[in-house]
Chains A and B, each alone.
Chain A
Amino acid sequence: MAELVSITIDGHGVDMAQGSTILEACRFLDIDTPTLCQLDNLTPVNVCRACVVELEGSRVLVPACSRQVEPGMQIQTDTPRVRHSRRLVLELLASSVDMTLTSGQVQGWMQRYQAAPTRFGKVATVAKPVKVDNELYVRDYSRCILCYKCVEACGADAQNTFAIGVAGRGFDAHISTEFEVGLPDSACVYCGNCIGVCPTGALMFKSEYDMRAAGTWDESRQAVTETVCPYCGVGCMLELRVQDNSIVRVTSPLDHSVTSGHLCVKGRFGFEFVQKRGPRG
């Protein structure tokens, strides 16, 4: 048994196993904490700073997602300072990036912190043309919040292919292949694990992208079914999102012991064959 560490969050005492993060403690106490760059199956990069909290004795706010609990920590998650930074993070991001396809949860945080991204006036964005360079998935970096998740999923946290990385610096930093080449010329193996973790819709199945462009994407007509990939003995769990008897997106549950959410190209994209066998009834 790991040793327990006692801390206080918003006046509530909580005992957490050593090595837990403040975020885990917040979740344990049902304190909703905005996170953009954190995912349970990835190493924390603590770059978005949406999750910051006030820690007694610390000059600056600390990221809940990566800071581990230490005995006696006194933490506040809803002070004016915390609310201010969270609001600014959301505003600054949304003033530079198209966040319209983020989850309802993110939209909820925007409302909760009263983020008003337009108040900066006319300012620079990261808008750039959508990259459609293969038949499996598209990259729309106008939506990219630079959360590093795709880089981690492509790299050491899952796929170990390292086809994409962060290039450039400052406001010009962006996700890129080597020398900005298209995916077919890169090391990409199309496992789609980056799509699986992207929180903004910057990375998207081509099937979904085309349907959205055609105006036929309709989540109300979609259902998700869990099954097992037909291709190899690893036995990855798949979540098939189906609209009108067609598979439109494939993911895997983050908490599944076999996949931790990650798949290979066959499981992710190799489903076409079942759909090309004529009309269904």
Chain B
Amino acid sequence: MLRGVRHGARLIAVDPRRTSSAEWADIWLGLDVGSDIALANAIARVIIHDGLPDTKFIERSTTGYKEFAKKVEKYTLERAEKETGIPRNAIREVALAYGQARTGMICWTLGITEHHNATDNVLALINLGLLTGKVGRYGCGLNPLRGQNNVQGGGDMGAIPAKLPGFQAIEDPAIHEKFASAWGGADFPLKKGWHLSEMFEGMERGELRSAYIVGENPARSEADQGRAVRLLSGLDHLVVQDIFLTHTAELAHVVLPAGAGWTESEGTVTNSERRVQRVRRALDPPLGARDDIEIICELAARLGVDFGRPTAEEVWDECRSLSPMHAGMKYSRLDELGGIQWPCPDESHPGTQFLHARLWKDPVEGPLAPFSAVDNEPPVDRLTDEFPIRLTTGRRLDSFNTGVQTNEYTSPLRKGAEALVISPEDGANLGIADGECVRVSSRRGSVDVNVSFDRSMRPGLAFMTLHFPDQVATNVLTIDATDPKSGTAEFKASAIRIDRIPASSSLGGESQARPGEGARL
């Protein structure tokens, strides 16, 4: 992105915090957490009122424009200013900048998706792309920047409730039949499954009694951690397959030690730009740990099905035979081309750089792109006098998720432990000093943590990461309000209160942040 900036691109950053990326931006908008749709809709309204939509593209390639236009009409600049906290002139300026630009792209990360209305947030951004025809062309597009190396690949391979590999609908009888016959007449449900949050609800209702968890640490990564641990502990049978003895694995009845995908086994992963790339074995796994494929095949054998002993390449070739968009991606071609972007339907196909270029074909290839009329829905965890401060969570450059992997190397960037980052103004109002240990409480629990003042924060906003769950169980505070469409929890918006700790009652003793386990469950 910065390379683009260096070549003259304008950068607009929208983020409650003035991050280091925002420092590079020509304009930074510090909106209120969870007001993204109000902003997007107001931008759309300006674009429409100033006659900037790409009407030809809208007519030819999209549906639902009228309803969308009617919806955003209600999002006046006045309203958006009230809901986002951003001055109306600035919203207008950004709207014109995006609307008038010949090319432009919108990129986002979890700030858009870790909300109870995550899908709507994304749809609101897609609307902007469609409205101005900034999709499927060079220098345009809508790009979620993925936080793990294979989020895309997991979805592609069918690790979502309604799809089989290659985004083929499990409930489509023809698809179902295709897979069933390829798998020797295997019998598997014709009905879509549950996503993560639904599974936890299922546990709550007692409907889901056993789980097989591969490479996830929900006991630490789920919002409302207390509830997650309680539900996992209550299962009849829990199998965890991981490269570490994670907190989740500690709750398990059976633990299957696995090799690290990226360096102890063979296979492929898919990055955010849909590029399928090879991973290879560089190290022998630790004694006792086995390759994922081997574990699954062994498991199948115990259950009475013989999967044989396929290599990673054989598994992949089977996938290619069933998933048309991967069909052309032989290992040898992946090596040769340094990865291939799907769809790649046959072995002469170079892969696809612009997924939505089809929208510009005349006539349009495939289905038209729908606008979606969506409304702004403020975060579920309301700010009140009792919980007046908005906590948002996130990640730091040198760390990864719950820190199981990254806390093993000594990053000089990690100064001290987890901290609650707040503005100096809030610090002064609350009468606390930089570095002081405070108690942070939400409607779900409390933790003790040191504060750190940061001028990039505005009053009323606080920030924490989830990288050090053993020192500071940030997810004790977060809410598990979940987006019904994607199943993502609202990590980005909790309401909290910050209290000074009377010297005698400190949970942890000295000013080291540590309680975590001692928190109310």
The answer to whether A and B touch in the complex, with CB atoms under 8 Å apart, is: yes
A-side residues, CB < 8 A to B, are: 134-136, 156, 160, 183-184, 188-190, 223, 225-235, 237-238, 240, 242, 245-247, 256-258, 264-266, 269-281
Minimal Cβ-Cβ distance residue in B for A256 = B338
Apart from A235-B149, A258-B277, A277-B244, what are 20 other A-B pairs with CB-CB below 8 Å? A135-B412, A189-B397, A189-B413, A190-B411, A226-B280, A228-B271, A230-B149, A231-B149, A231-B400, A232-B148, A233-B145, A234-B271, A235-B270, A240-B263, A240-B283, A245-B284, A265-B397, A269-B409, A274-B264, A280-B287
- B272, A235: Cβ atoms under 8 Å? yes
Known interface pairs A225-B282, A265-B413, A281-B287; A273-B277 also in contact (CB < 8 Å): no
- B149, A228: Cβ atoms under 8 Å? yes
Contact residue among B24, B146, B147, B262 (Cβ-Cβ distance under 8 Å from A227): B262
Contact residue among A136, A229, A231, A277 (Cβ-Cβ distance under 8 Å from B411): A136
- A278, B338: Cβ atoms under 8 Å? no
Contact residue among A183, A227, A245 (Cβ-Cβ distance under 8 Å from B412): A183
B243 within 8 A of A: yes
B408 within 8 A of A: yes
User: Given the complex, which residues of A lie within 8 Å of B400, measured CB to CB?
Assistant: 231, 266, 270
Known interface pairs A136-B411, A225-B280, A229-B149; A277-B262 also in contact (CB < 8 Å): no
- A233, B283: Cβ atoms under 8 Å? no
Interface code B391-430, partner A: CB below 8 Å = 1, 0 otherwise?
Answer: 0000001111000111111111100000000000000000
Tell me the minimal C-beta distance from A219 to chain B in angstroms.
16
User: Given the complex, which residues of B lie within 8 Å of A229, measured CB to CB?
Assistant: 149, 262
B-side residues, CB < 8 A to A, are: 2, 6, 24, 145-149, 151-152, 243-244, 260-264, 269-273, 275, 277-287, 289, 338-339, 397-400, 404-413
User: Given the complex, which residues of B lie within 8 Å of A280, measured CB to CB?
Assistant: 283-287
In angstroms, Cα B268 to Cα A226, docked, is 12
Known interface pairs A233-B145, A237-B338, A278-B287; A273-B282 also in contact (CB < 8 Å): no
Minimal Cβ-Cβ distance residue in A for B261 = A230
In angstroms, Cα B24 to Cα A183, docked, is 22
User: Given the complex, which residues of B lie within 8 Å of A240, measured CB to CB?
Assistant: 263, 282-283
A-B contact pairs, 20 of them (CB 8 A): A134-B410, A223-B282, A225-B281, A228-B278, A230-B263, A231-B405, A235-B270, A235-B273, A235-B275, A237-B277, A238-B262, A258-B339, A265-B411, A265-B413, A271-B409, A273-B244, A274-B264, A277-B243, A279-B286, A280-B287
User: Given the complex, which residues of A lie within 8 Å of B286, measured CB to CB?
Assistant: 277-281
Interface-central residue, A272, A277, A281, by most chain B CB under 10 Å: A277
- A190, B270: Cβ atoms under 8 Å? no
Known interface pairs A228-B262, A273-B406; A247-B283 also in contact (CB < 8 Å): yes
- B405, A227: Cβ atoms under 8 Å? no
Tell me the minimal C-beta distance from B401 to chain A in angstroms.
9
Interface-central residue, A226, A227, A266, A281, by most chain B CB under 10 Å: A227
In angstroms, Cα B272 to Cα A246, docked, is 29
User: Given the complex, which residues of B lie within 8 Å of A237, measured CB to CB?
Assistant: 277, 338-339
User: Given the complex, which residues of B lie within 8 Å of A184, measured CB to CB?
Assistant: 412
Question: What are the nearest 3 A-B pairs in CB distance?
Answer: A233-B146, A235-B271, A225-B282
Minimal Cβ-Cβ distance residue in B for A225 = B282
Contact residue among B147, B262, B338, B410 (Cβ-Cβ distance under 8 Å from A233): B147
In angstroms, Cα B275 to Cα A237, docked, is 11
- B279, A228: Cβ atoms under 8 Å? yes
Tell me the minimal C-beta distance from B282 to chain A in angstroms.
4
Q: Per DSSP, are chain A's interface residues mostly helix, strand or loop, or mixed? A: loop
Tell me the minimal C-beta distance from B290 to chain A in angstroms.
12
Tell me the minimal C-beta distance from B21 to chain A in angstroms.
10
Contact residue among B147, B281, B284, B410 (Cβ-Cβ distance under 8 Å from A136): B410
User: Given the complex, which residues of B lie within 8 Å of A183, measured CB to CB?
Assistant: 412
Known interface pairs A190-B413, A232-B149, A270-B409; A258-B271 also in contact (CB < 8 Å): yes
Tell me the minimal C-beta distance from B274 to chain A in angstroms.
10
- A257, B338: Cβ atoms under 8 Å? yes
- B148, A233: Cβ atoms under 8 Å? yes
Known interface pairs A227-B278, A272-B409; A233-B272 also in contact (CB < 8 Å): yes
In angstroms, Cα B271 to Cα A237, docked, is 11
Minimal Cβ-Cβ distance residue in A for B335 = A226
- A269, B411: Cβ atoms under 8 Å? yes
- B262, A230: Cβ atoms under 8 Å? yes
Tell me the minimal C-beta distance from A192 to chain B in angstroms.
12
- A274, B260: Cβ atoms under 8 Å? yes
In angstroms, Cα B284 to Cα A223, docked, is 13
In angstroms, Cα B374 to Cα A41, docked, is 44
In angstroms, Cα B278 to Cα A226, docked, is 8
User: Given the complex, which residues of B lie within 8 Å of A269, measured CB to CB?
Assistant: 409, 411
Interface-central residue, B145, B280, B283, B339, by most chain A CB under 10 Å: B283
Contact residue among A225, A226, A266 (Cβ-Cβ distance under 8 Å from B406): A266
In angstroms, Cα B149 to Cα A225, docked, is 18
Interface-central residue, B269, B279, B399, by most chain A CB under 10 Å: B279
User: Given the complex, which residues of B lie within 8 Å of A273, measured CB to CB?
Assistant: 244, 404-409
User: Given the complex, which residues of A lie within 8 Å of B277, measured CB to CB?
Assistant: 228, 235, 237, 258
Interface-central residue, A229, A232, A235, by most chain B CB under 10 Å: A235
Interface-central residue, A160, A232, A258, A278, by most chain B CB under 10 Å: A232
Contact residue among B6, B283, B408, B410 (Cβ-Cβ distance under 8 Å from A245): B283
In angstroms, Cα B338 to Cα A19, docked, is 26
Tell me the minimal C-beta distance from A30 to chain B in angstroms.
24
In angstroms, Cα B265 to Cα A228, docked, is 11
In angstroms, Cα B413 to Cα A183, docked, is 10
User: Given the complex, which residues of A lie within 8 Å of B275, measured CB to CB?
Assistant: 235, 258
Minimal Cβ-Cβ distance residue in A for B337 = A257
Known interface pairs A233-B149, A235-B270, A279-B286; A270-B338 also in contact (CB < 8 Å): no
User: Given the complex, which residues of A lie within 8 Å of B24, measured CB to CB?
Assistant: 160
Tell me the minimal C-beta distance from A193 to chain B in angstroms.
13
In angstroms, Cα B400 to Cα A156, docked, is 26
User: Given the complex, which residues of A lie within 8 Å of B397, measured CB to CB?
Assistant: 189, 264-266
Known interface pairs A232-B148, A237-B277, A245-B283; A277-B413 also in contact (CB < 8 Å): no
- A232, B411: Cβ atoms under 8 Å? no
Interface-central residue, B145, B287, B338, by most chain A CB under 10 Å: B338
